[in-house]
């Protein structure tokens, strides 16, 4: 039998999911088109939250500098992730 501390288990859970959308061309208006976001890792809170987050990548995209990285709250329903692509396109367009 093991003793588990619910508080330490909660700290081990990610607070953000890291998702990446690569640029895959331009549209007719010359704006960048992005691929569908893919989950590539997670971000965890440190023991001292004032020191920032720790990012753990499961995948590092080859074209990392040619795309958009998203931090999505871990409690967000994955079905809501479909809106990310539209948000990314608007961000690239400066809207």
Is 2 among the domain residues? no
**8-23: average pLDDT:** 80
The total number of structural domains that make up the chain: 1
Supply the range of the domain harboring residue 79: 23-92
Is 9 among the domain residues? no
Residue the block writes with tokens 């987050």:
53
Within 8 A by CB and 6+ apart from 32, the residues are: 23, 25, 26, 89, 92
Is 79 among the domain residues? yes
Judged by phi (left if over 0) then psi (alpha if -120 to 50, else beta), residue 57 lies in beta
Is 87 among the domain residues? yes
Nearest by Cα to 21 from 91, 69, 57, 90: 69
Residue the block writes with tokens 């990610």:
14
Is 17 among the domain residues? no
Is 67 among the domain residues? yes
Q: Which of 71-75, 78-82, 85-89 comes out lowest in average pLDDT?
A: 78-82
Does 5 have pLDDT greater than 70? no
Is 1 among the domain residues? no
């Amino acid at each position: 039998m093991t003793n588990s501390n619910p508080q330490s288990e909660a700290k081990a859970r990610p607070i953000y999911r890291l998702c990446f959308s690569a640029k895959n061309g331009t549209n007719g208006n010359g704006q960048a088109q992005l691929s569908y976001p893919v989950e590539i890792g997670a971000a965890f809170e440190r023991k001292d939250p004032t020191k920032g987050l720790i990012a753990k990548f499961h995948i590092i995209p080859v074209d990392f500098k040619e795309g958009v990285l998203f931090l999505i709250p871990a409690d967000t329903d994955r079905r809501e992730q479909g809106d990310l692509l539209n948000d990314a396109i608007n961000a690239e367009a400066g809207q």
